[in-house]
């Protein structure tokens, strides 16, 4: 896949009913950890992202919101190239630059990329192994064999995920004995165990009950101490609670990107305002 020159052209194949978005998305910081530059993305012949430009700052929680099918998950899944798994999915234009490198360049090793860009999925998905093995999985994959290193990493990750107190006595127990919220936090611990720079979260609370959701949200705000967090959510209240910055997407386009307070308080775009007021769900 060859990166297109970063000249941000207007997307040609834009849907007709779209009002021409003359928006240059507000960029809170000049250069983010993740910079998306003019990204077009396709599933086979169906285009899912249109000319997305976005700078995600370090050590902040950035939320992607928008109605279902707007492309927010697709965009998130571009950041660690997990979309590569889907046959026919590809970018046709643009770049995603992380740590100064376009990750769609040919010489990028996806396994190295994914070690540094962790991901937490919508539905908690621990492996059918013990809690300990789940957490150290990525380390073992990376070839770490020394027990003390693994032990320490496990403890640290579980502490980061605020799960240490609940699980320290039963690290060898099967992960499926945990509650839903605990499993999701275990997945977070598993993702942070290799200490990635970026943590992607794809609607991490959608399968959880309200109390577990609160706990995970609390955890997310804590995570910014160490990580850059990008979270996709369909729950505006959640975005408001956890995110420092919020990007609103609609029909595969980035409509508006600004501080959360701005987005929810004084959105610049009509679409954003309509969405936040609940015109479309």
Partner 1 sequence: MPNEPKASSDPGASDLIKPPRFMGLRIDRQQVIRAFFSVSAAVTIVTLFLIMWTLVTEGPFRLQKKLGFLPVPTLKGGFLDTYRWELGVYRKAGLEFCDHVKKPLTEHETIFSRLKRAVGAELNTVSKVSRDRRDAAILAKTHVEERAALQREALQEALDKTGPATPPEKIEELRKAVREATARKVAAEVLPPLFTDAEKQKLQEDLRGLQPDQEDFPPFIQELMAESAKQDGLAREKFAAFVTAVDEFEVAADPIIEVHDAMKELALATKELAVQQHMSEDAVAQLLAAAAIAKTPEEKAAFEKDAAQTDTTAIDFKGRIEPLLAKRADYEKLIPAYLATVKKVMADMPSKPLTGEARTLLAKARKDLPEHIKTVEASLHHMSGWKWDKPIPLMQSLSAFLFGGDWITNSSWQDFYGMVPLLTGSLVISLTALLIALPFSIAAAIYVNQFATLREQEIIKPLIEFIQAIPSVVLGFIGISVVGDLIKSTSDVAWLQWIPGFPVAERLNMFNAGCLLALMAIPTMFSLAEDAINNVPRAFSEASEALGATKIQTVFKVIVPAATSGILAAMLLGLGRIIGETMVVLLVAGNRIAIPDFSDGIGTVFQPAHTLTGIIAQELGEVSRGSPHWQALFMVGIVLFAISLFINWASRLVVRKFQLPKI
Partner 2 sequence: MHAPVDPSPGGAAPHPFAKPKTHRETYEFLIRQVLRAGTYSVLLAVGLIFAHIIIKGVPVVFTTKAPFINTNFLTKLPETLHVIEDKQGKIYETSPQGSDVIKKELGGNMRSEKTISYSGGGILGPIVGTALLVLVCMVVALFLGIASAIYLSEYASHGKFIEGVRLAILNLAGVPSVVFGLFGLGIFVLSAPVLTDTPHERSLFSIPLGFTYMSFQGWDTCVLSGAFTLAFVILPVIITASEECLRAVPQGFRETSLALGATRWQTIWRTVLPFAMPGILTSSILGIARAAGETAPIMFTAALAFKDKLPWQGDSGFFGIFTQSVQALPYHIYTIAARIPQSEYSERAQYGSVFVFLVLVLMFAITSVLLRRKLRAKYQW
User: Per-residue DSSP letters for 28-47?
Assistant: SSSS-SEEEEEEEEEETTEE
Under rule CB under 8 A, residue 181 binds partner 1: no
Stretch that binds partner 2, among 7-15, 158-166, 189-197, 234-242 (CB under 8 A): 189-197
The one of partner 1, partner 2, none whose footprint includes residue 240, by CB under 5 to 8 A per kind, is none
Q: How far apart are CA 250 and CA 17, in angstroms?
A: 12
If residue 227 lies in a helix (H) or strand (E), which one and from where to where?
A: none
| Minimum CB distance to partner 1 smaller for 134 or for 260 | 134
Q: 10 Å Cβ neighbour count for 52?
A: 26
Q: Which of 128, 148, 210, 278 binds partner 1 (CB under 8 A)?
A: 128
Are 103 and 96 spatial neighbours (Cβ–Cβ below 8 Å)? yes
Under rule CB under 8 A, residue 222 binds partner 2: no
| Count, residues near partner 1 per rule CB under 8 A | 29
Q: How far apart are CA 18 and CA 57, in angstroms?
A: 29
Under rule CB under 8 A, residue 187 binds partner 1: yes
Shortest Cβ distance from residue 239 to partner 2 (Å)?
A: 25
Q: Which of 84, 166, 197, 244 binds partner 2 (CB under 8 A)?
A: 197
Q: Is 24 left (phi over 0), alpha (psi -120 to 50) or beta?
A: beta
Are 99 and 268 spatial neighbours (Cβ–Cβ below 8 Å)? no
| Count, residues near partner 2 per rule CB under 8 A | 24
Which stretches of the chain bind partner 2, using CB under 8 A? Answer: 98-101, 103, 107-109, 112-113, 115-116, 139, 142-144, 149, 153, 194-197, 226-227
């Amino acid at each position: 896949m060859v990166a297109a020159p970063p000249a941000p052209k207007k997307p040609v194949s834009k849907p007709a009913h779209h009002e021409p978005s003359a928006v240059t998305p507000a960029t809170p910081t000049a250069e983010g950890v993740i910079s998306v530059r003019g990204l077009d993305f396709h599933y086979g012949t169906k285009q899912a992202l249109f000319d997305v430009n976005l700078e995600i700052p370090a050590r902040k929680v950035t939320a992607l919101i928008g109605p279902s099918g707007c492309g927010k998950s697709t965009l998130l899944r571009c950041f660690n190239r997990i979309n590569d798994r889907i046959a026919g999915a590809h970018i046709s234009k643009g770049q995603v630059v992380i740590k100064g490198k376009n990750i769609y360049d040919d010489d990028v090793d996806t396994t190295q990329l994914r070690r540094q860009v962790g991901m937490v999925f919508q539905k908690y998905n621990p492996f059918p192994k013990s809690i300990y093995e789940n957490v150290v999985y990525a380390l073992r994959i990376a070839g770490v064999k020394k027990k003390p290193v693994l032990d320490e990493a496990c403890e640290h990750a579980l502490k980061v995920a605020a799960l240490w107190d609940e699980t320290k006595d039963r690290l060898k127990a099967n992960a499926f004995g945990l509650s839903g919220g605990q499993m999701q936090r275990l997945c977070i611990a598993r993702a942070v165990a290799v200490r990635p720079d970026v943590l992607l979260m794809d609607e991490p609370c959608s399968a959880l009950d309200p109390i577990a959701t609160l706990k995970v949200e609390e955890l997310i705000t804590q995570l910014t101490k160490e990580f850059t967090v990008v979270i996709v959510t369909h729950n505006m209240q959640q975005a408001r609670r956890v995110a420092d910055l919020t990007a609103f997407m609609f029909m595969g386009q980035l409509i508006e990107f600004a501080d959360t307070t701005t987005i929810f308080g004084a959105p610049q775009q009509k679409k954003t305002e309509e969405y936040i007021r609940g015109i479309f769900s």
